């Protein structure tokens, strides 16, 4: 039986809840809720276990803070014996227009410290990743303030539609595979 690990990256703590950097948490919260899962605090993160068309899915929100996410990802992959190709990392991306999805099988960290730490801990850049565009509407040198800033009203309204699309993309990854999911959802 195939097992999947779906990881939403973000920072723990109420002050980060509605920030752009926490879109990974927001998306996996919606995914777990859609599939009847509830999160419980376990080692290195909050975890929900759900079933999707007969497949076991571990949904993880690391509690290690964004830049140290690799330890939690590696731990849960090993604990649950989940293959790298059945692991999906969901994160924000400044280099993609707001709300646009980009799913890839591998790649560089692209300046994202959470992905860099995962790459370091897994000793590989070959793992599926789901980047959710947060745009780049900030002045040069202010990117940290931008990603740790809260959504504006227009973005909040758009998320009402973008998050369900993201949840469908995760289900597609589990049920239809990476290649089909990339074909259907990239650029949406």
Binding-site residues from annotation for tRNA: 16, 65, 67, 113
CA distances from 148 to 67, 145, 155, 162, 186 (A): 13, 5, 14, 20, 25
CA distances from 50 to 5, 83, 186 (A): 11, 17, 25
Q: Which of 7, 10, 21, 133 is catalytic?
A: 21
What DSSP designation does 142 have? -
Q: Does the annotation count 21 as an active-site position? A: yes
Contact status, residue 103 vs residue 188, Cβ threshold 8 Å:
no
Q: Which residues are catalytic?
A: 21
């Amino acid at each position: 039986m195939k097992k999947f690990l779906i990881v939403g990256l973000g920072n723990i703590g109420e002050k980060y809840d509605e920030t752009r950097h926490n879109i990974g948490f927001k998306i996996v919260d919606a995914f777990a809720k859609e599939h009847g899962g509830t999160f419980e605090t376990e080692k290195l993160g909050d975890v929900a276990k759900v079933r999707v068309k007969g497949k076991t899915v571990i949904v993880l929100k690391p509690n290690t803070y964004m830049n140290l996410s690799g330890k939690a990802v590696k731990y849960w992959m090993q604990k649950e014996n989940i293959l790298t190709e059945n692991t999906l990392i969901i994160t924000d991306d400044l280099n993609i227009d707001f709300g646009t999805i980009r799913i890839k099988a591998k790649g560089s960290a692209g300046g994202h410290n959470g992905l860099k730490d995962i790459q370091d801990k897994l000793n590989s850049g070959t793992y599926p990743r789901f980047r959710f565009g947060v745009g780049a509407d900030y002045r040069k040198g202010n990117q940290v303030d931008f990603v740790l800033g809260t959504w504006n009203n227009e973005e909040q309204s758009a998320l009402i539609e973008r998050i369900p699309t993201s949840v469908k993309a995760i289900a597609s990854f589990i049920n239809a595979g990476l290649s089909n999911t990339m074909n259907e959802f990239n650029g949406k």
